[in-house]
Structure 1
Amino acid sequence: MSESVQNNAPVSLPEVGFLRLSDVLKIIPVAKTAWYQGVKEGRFPSPVKLTKRASGYRAKDIRALIDRLEAGEGA
């Protein structure tokens, strides 16, 4: 998982594993509602069910999104 985030410290994106939405939104600065709309439209990656009550996002999917954004391809 990602490193503990305290006092608005930067989030470290792991090579493998999962991120919670709160960590993703510190890396991709959009509102939560905009994120969910992007997931619905297919612009952002879908979450993976980790337990009955918890979901996360694959680190590799977030990396791929960052790469697309840096390449100017949009979300």
Structure 2
Amino acid sequence: MSPQTTPPRTAIAQAIPSANNATTASATITPSVFDHLPDSALLREADLVRSPKRPHATPPLPFSAPTLWRMAKAGTFPKPIKLSQRVTAWKVGDVRAWIAAQTNATI
């Protein structure tokens, strides 16, 4: 019997960490630009909540897009600004004030 040899790993297989591999892959998290924007800046929905299209981004709000719209409709979140028929955005200052109010309400 000849000793078994393992086939060379492909590029895809090399990218996947194995159980016996000492190095583990870690996700790269991009810091949010929310803290560096002026209060007059405008943010769209994808910048405020987690989006499957941008899983690496860190949004400032911990809930989903449907919850964002539900809260805006109910008046428990700042009202968005309609920029055109299909484009809606929120003022950064309004969102920051809402976050501060939520933080103060829970303390």
TM-score, normalized by length of structure 1?
A: 0.75
1:12 equivalent in alignment to 2:36: no
Equivalent residue number for residue 63 of structure 2: 30
Matched residues, number: 67
TM-score, normalized by length of structure 2?
A: 0.55
RCO comparison, higher one (Cα < 8 Å, 6+)? 1
Could you say which structure has the higher helix fraction?
1
Structure 2 alignment gaps of length 5 or more: 1-27, 50-58
CA RMSD across the alignment = 1.7
Q: Equivalent residues in 2 for 1:1-75 (5 A)?
A: 8-13=29-34, 14-15=37-38, 16-25=40-49, 26-72=59-105
Amino-acid identity (%): 25
Structure 1 alignment gaps of length 5 or more: 1-6
Change (3 A) 1:40 1:52: closer
